Amino acid sequence: MMLNVLLIATGGALGSVLRYLISEAVSALIGMSAVWAILLVNVSGSFIIGLAAGASWEHVRLADSSFTRYFVMVGVCGGYTTFSSFSLQTFSLLQSGEIARASINVGLSVVTCLIATWAGYALAAALSR
């Protein structure tokens, strides 16, 4: 139990720092707004969680399921992905009357994150063969 809590806390701290660094780098290097930097983080986080889930399933066993579940999926991905930030930014876009941008943000986020999760899972399955 305590080991799982430590894995989650360590992974969460790592994920949060990675989210900050990647968001800052994307904004500085590409000049993208925070909305698009958060979209990138959410899509890459979805890919990572799909890869981790696919790698740790019973029939695959590319990764230790306890470590993968607690450190990577709950910790790193929980700290890294930014759905609450996505929700707040979408809400802010709606409040400022930017309905089209808010709608595009929602559509792109949901569709690309689902595709990224599938791609990560498919990669893990392919690597297990």
For 37, 48, 50, 77, 97, the CA distances from 82, given in Å and listed in that order, are 10, 14, 16, 9, 23
Tokens of 107: 């559509």
**In the structure, what pLDDT confidence band is assigned to residue 60 with cuts at 50, 70 and 90?**
low
The model's confidence at residue 62, banded by pLDDT at 50, 70 and 90, is: low
| Banded model confidence at residue 55, pLDDT cuts 50, 70, 90 | confident
Q: Which spans in 31-81 are helix H?
A: 34-56, 65-67, 77-80
Provide the residue ranges of all domains of the chain, joining segments of one domain with +: 2-127
Rounded CA-CA distance 20/38 in Å is 10
Q: 129: pLDDT confidence band, cut at 50, 70 and 90?
A: confident
Using a cut of 0.85, tell me whether the model's pTM lies above it: no
Taking alpha carbons only, the member of 82, 64, 109 closest to residue 23 is 82
Using the predicted structure, report yes or no on whether residue 61 has a pLDDT greater than 70: no
**In the structure, what pLDDT confidence band is assigned to residue 58 with cuts at 50, 70 and 90?**
low
- Please count the other Cβ atoms lying within 10 Å of the Cβ belonging to residue 100: 9
- Other CB atoms within 10 Å distance of the CB of residue 67: 17
